[in-house]
Amino acid sequence: MGKIGLYLCECGPNIAEAIDLDRITAEIKKDAKVAGIERFKLLCSEDGKRFVTESIKERGYERVVIAACSPKQHQATFEQVVANAGLNAHVFQMVNIREQCAWATPDKEQATSKALRFIRAAIGRVRYHWPLEQKEIECSPDTIVIGGGTAGIEAALRIAQKGRKVFLLEKDEPGGTRRDREWMAARVDALRNNPLIEVYEHCKIRELLGFFGSFVAHLETREGNEVQLKAGSVVLATGAVAFDPTGLAGYGYRELEGVSTVREFEKAASDASDGHPKSVAVIHCVGREKLGYCSGTCCVEAMRVARRVKEASAETEVTEFYRDLCLPGTEHDRFYHETAKTGVRFVRFRDIDVAREGPGLVVRYRQEDGSSGSVVADAVVLSAGVAAGPANAEFARMFNIPLDEHGFFQSEHPVLNPVGTVTEGVFVVGGCRGPAGALDATAQAGAAAGKVLSALVPGRRLRLETRTSEVAEALCVGCGICVAACAYGAATLNEDRHIAVVNEVLCRGCGNCAAACPSGAAQHRQFTTRQMDQEVTQILR
Amino acid sequence: MADQTTDVLVIGAGLAGVEASLVLANAGRKVYLVERQAYFGGNVIKSEEVFPNLECATCMIAPKQSDVIENQNVELLTLTEVKDVRGEAGAFGVTLLRRARYVSLENCIGCAACFEPCPVTAANEFEEGLSQRKAIYVACAGALPNAPAIAMGECLRSKGEECTACRDACMFDAINYEDKDEEREVKVGAIVVATGYRLSGAGLPDRLENVYNAFEFERLRASNGPTEGEIRTRDGKKPKSVALIHCAGRREKGYCSQVCCRYLAKFARYAFDKLEGVEVHEFIQEVSVPGKDSQRFLETALEKGVKLVRTKAVPGISANGSGVRIEFQANGKSESDEVDMAVLAPAIEPGSGAAALAELLGIETDGFGFFRTAGSEPATATRPGVFIAGCNSGPKDMQTVVIQAEAAAAGVLKMNHKDTETGPGEETQERPAGSGDG
């Protein structure tokens, strides 16, 4: 198990005055488990680091315990020191006797006893530490982008560069729902003309295999051919769908002539050659209660309808029925005030009902103070939010990414890693991860590009996490409990051999599999049963 | 072309600057991350808990801060400002001014032994003046780098006295009264501006004893703050009623700061968590909670018993003994309310010095003083080679800040590949403002 060297840092007076290091030295000597105990005034100083490196070499220590400050402060420092002495960084254990003892326990006697238990625990576990190998794999710098809307196109254009190819996969044609707009047409041209981007349209993805750095996608082209694509990362940009107000009580959508969604209304307005309507009512927040969230872009979209109607015919009366005006961003308050100035009427409602009476539609509303009123309109436009796309569930299964309660893809962390997912190397951008306007989608595409360009550099190998889990084949009964416990898709069942295996590239070392395994086959390399048993035994001794 | 470099300057080490730096460093770029404060982490580390999962913000960003400190490719320069910028994209020459810390970052171990002997006390700016600090101090417990700085303007030595109290207390030879401000030249190919925001004074009433702004209330709830997380009025009492006032500077500034509805919902939850039996009254004109997680977040606060009052305009506020009187118009009637404590959500505006920095960098600002992004590029400034991340281009939630920071990094990483593709920065598409596409 090797000779263990114990280093005690005095941290000036910080540890030396609060903890009786002489007593600790005497007690540890009595235990006779270490080959040497070294004490130093300040181990993190240049002198201190040199002292550790040289004494490890001189005395031939094979395991090292350093009792000093928080590993948050100096774990990396001492791992480097240990490595400089020619040892594997994993045969080292740090003990926090400053923040957790000297600074937290005012009674010197108690602080000393506590520090002694911590040090014994570290000595106990470090006896069973073994060198862990830093593995590296070759990886592909290429990227598969799935979805050819704003988010997908912008991601592809940002990622494609010398040495990096992008495969853009689209079930239909690139351009998404904004295909008819001029700026989108220009972006689609840029996409198609980019020599580093291969566009596969009208294709269907059958399967995605592999892992970060080395994915393989199987797709079926429109002609029925199977194509295999290899890439190191995947960007999911499959978009969202407009909420469908069919069947929603009170709006008369698909029941009353003259009631339409924003998109239908705009399309009809651009096709129509006959006269302008006398009165238009635009209703905000349609379906919000059912969706359970505010999409954030529809209020502005609803006002844009009013502006276009007014531009075409200033005499047309336009009423915007809203519950709350959601105008995030620095430009939208102004847009609202300008809209109001064009004569558009804004009415806050609590309840609303659309009915046909004679030749026109009547919108009846009740306000928050209980008062009510009605407006006659030729056309009623429903401004609804966006909903998660129906294909998300299948992609979620294929990519092992959880969906949230609304059916959108979940980020790995909502704040810290908003475009990353639990499947490393798979990113989510645009409407498939939640309601997003074109600018939001573009920013998210940029974010995914930043992550891809930074994580996979042509010619650079991917360094893997060393503190991962493994399965002892002889003990594994193939029950699959670890497969269910693994959030990262790293543990899988080998059907042929009927055992579980851990993919080292995907494993993040969380230890869930080891905790869940009923037979002790799954083990975390730095938290083996042996190590933890020793640690706990010594603490409770 | 000889002066071309791929090194990057990141200005501001809050959430945006930290994220952009890490993405760039992981791509192999050398990054100079400059921060004018003595600590880094920006406004984020003022919050105890943040939307949407009420995680501790300080704990959330700490691993990223550790990454910055340990990353060989990032050089973190605190107490440092940009003095001059010359050259062009791919070859900027930048003059940095590092102000004297008077404490050696190499020698100091952060034991805090120097604070107690210092005879000078001053209001702690980080705590919005709600607590006192010494002339040698750290902004708050846990601030990084874990070393204090001396506010030399306050130190007795600047007044001609031979005080050596802090140096005498230091066991690690870390105090250096001879430390000097220093200029330093760096050459970089790209610049990411991540200078953040501050709370605006626009539209706020005169200072009243128990009226707090958002940062002050955050610090009251912070376990490393002036009251160790206990919400107390300035005279030390537990408030029985708290008013939360939305949109305090919106009309004056002319825009919605878009995060306030959510953080006031969080404040309501703070109040219910910390003050048993408290009444929370929210005065609101428009509920603005965009995004898939926001409405549920708001509803959770409402379910705990918030009294939501929709007012015609931002209420008037005046002192009422040690309490606060609130006058407002609702449902066409004038009404009033009396509470022990009121919390205002001021508008978010660019951090101090944004206009001067814009001039120095040669980038445009919008009518509100925020840095303008080029066309519909989300993180590109109006000058080639300069990128923007965080709330200095407009109010954002943390998630959107991180997204923009990563996009800014992508912009930098894309820059040196002009030969292969027409991409962002070179070809930008203007989309009409307020088009609903944004």
Q: CB A244: neighbour CB atoms within 10 A?
A: 13
Query: Is A162's CB within 8 Å of B419's CB?
Result: yes
* Predicted local confidence at residue B429, as pLDDT: 44
Query: Is B370's CB within 8 Å of A44's CB?
Result: no
Residue A460 forms part of a structural domain = no
A272 and A328 belong to one structural domain? yes
Shortest distance, CA A295 to any CA of chain B (angstroms) = 6
A158 and A199 belong to one structural domain? yes
Closest-approach residue (CA) in chain B for A367? B331
The single-letter code of the amino acid at B391 is: C
> How many whole angstroms separate alpha carbon A194 and alpha carbon A188?
10
Q: B425 pLDDT band (50/70/90 cuts)?
A: very low
Interchain contact A174–B (C-beta under 8 A): no
Of B60, B258, B295, the CB nearest to A293: B295
A94 and A202 belong to one structural domain? no
Interchain contact A326–B (C-beta under 8 A): yes
Interchain contact B379–A (C-beta under 8 A): yes
Tokens read off for A169: 């996969």
Q: Is A166 left (phi over 0), alpha (psi -120 to 50) or beta?
A: beta
Interchain contact B435–A (C-beta under 8 A): yes
Share of chain A above pLDDT 70, in %: 99
* Predicted local confidence at residue A488, as pLDDT: 87
Residues A260, A379 contacting (CB under 8 angstroms): yes
Structurally, how many domains does chain A consist of? 4
Tokens read off for A480: 């699959």
Please report residues of B whose CB lies closer than 8 A to that of A330: 255, 366, 368, 370, 394-395
For residues B53, B55, B58, B62, the Cα torsion angle rounded to the nearest 10 degrees is -90
Residue A293 forms part of a structural domain = yes
Mutate to test the interface with A, among B406, B413, B431 (most CBs of A within 10 A): B406
Residue A253 forms part of a structural domain = no
A214 and A280 belong to one structural domain? no
The single-letter code of the amino acid at A338 is: E
Shortest distance, CA A30 to any CA of chain B (angstroms) = 32
CA B353 to the chain's CA centroid: 14
* Predicted local confidence at residue B431, as pLDDT: 47
Domain end (from A423, A455, A487): A455
Shortest distance, CA A83 to any CA of chain B (angstroms) = 16
Tokens read off for A413: 């962390």
Residue A250 forms part of a structural domain = no
A277 and A376 belong to one structural domain? yes
Domain end (from A398, A422, A455): A455
A·B CB contacts under 8 A = 231
Tokens read off for A191: 């996409």
Interchain contact B70–A (C-beta under 8 A): yes
Phi, psi values for residue B46, rounded to 5°:
-80, -15
Query: Is B171's CB within 8 Å of A13's CB?
Result: yes
> How many whole angstroms separate alpha carbon B168 and alpha carbon B358?
43
Residue A117 forms part of a structural domain = yes
A378 and A336 belong to one structural domain? yes
A208 and A323 belong to one structural domain? no
A415 and A377 belong to one structural domain? no
Whether the pLDDT of residue B71 is over 80: the answer is yes
Please report residues of B whose CB lies closer than 8 A to that of A187: 429
Mind listing the pLDDT tens digit for each residue in A123-179? 999 999 999 999 999 999 999 999 999 999 999 999 999 899 999 999 999 997 777
ipTM: 0.94
Domain residues for the domain of A80 are 4-132
Mind listing the pLDDT tens digit for each residue in A233-257? 999 999 999 999 999 999 999 999 9
Tokens read off for B245: 């006032």
Average pLDDT over residues A17-35: 97
> How many whole angstroms separate alpha carbon A175 and alpha carbon A87?
56
Beta bridge partners of B243: B281, B342
* Predicted local confidence at residue B1, as pLDDT: 56
Interchain contact B298–A (C-beta under 8 A): no
Mutate to test the interface with B, among A403, A453, A508 (most CBs of B within 10 A): A453
Residue A248 forms part of a structural domain = no
Please give the C-alpha separations between residue A414 and each of A419, B55, B403, in angstroms, as whole numbers.
8, 11, 11
Shortest distance, CA A541 to any CA of chain B (angstroms) = 31
Tokens read off for A441: 């989608």
Query: Is B424's CB within 8 Å of A439's CB?
Result: no
**What is the model's pTM?**
0.93
Q: Which helix (H) or strand (E) element contains residue A502?
A: strand A499-502
> How many whole angstroms separate alpha carbon B90 and alpha carbon B412?
10
> How many whole angstroms separate alpha carbon B40 and alpha carbon B145?
7
Interchain contact B400–A (C-beta under 8 A): yes
Residue A31 forms part of a structural domain = yes
In CATH, what number is assigned to the domain containing residue A483? 3.30.70.20
A439 and A484 belong to one structural domain? no
Query: Is A330's CB within 8 Å of B395's CB?
Result: yes
A24 and A127 belong to one structural domain? yes
In CATH, what number is assigned to the domain containing residue A40? 3.40.50.960
A108 and A123 belong to one structural domain? yes
Please report residues of B whose CB lies closer than 8 A to that of A434: 291-292
Of B378, B406, B414, the CB nearest to A451: B406
Domain end (from A321, A353, A384): A384
* Predicted local confidence at residue A273, as pLDDT: 63
Mind listing the pLDDT tens digit for each residue in B272-310? 999 999 999 999 999 999 999 999 999 999 999 999 999
Of B60, B255, B424, the CB nearest to A158: B424
Look up residue A163 and give its DSSP letter. T
Q: A98 pLDDT band (50/70/90 cuts)?
A: very high
Interacting residues of B403 by C-beta distance below 8 A, sequence separation 6+: A418, A419, A443, A444, A446, A447
Whether the pLDDT of residue B56 is over 50: the answer is yes
A325 and A358 belong to one structural domain? yes
Average pLDDT over residues B240-258: 97
Sign of the alpha-carbon dihedral angle for B268, B269, B275, B279: positive
Closest-approach residue (CA) in chain B for A11? B109
The single-letter code of the amino acid at A493 is: L
Residue A539 forms part of a structural domain = no
In CATH, what number is assigned to the domain containing residue A364? 3.50.50.60
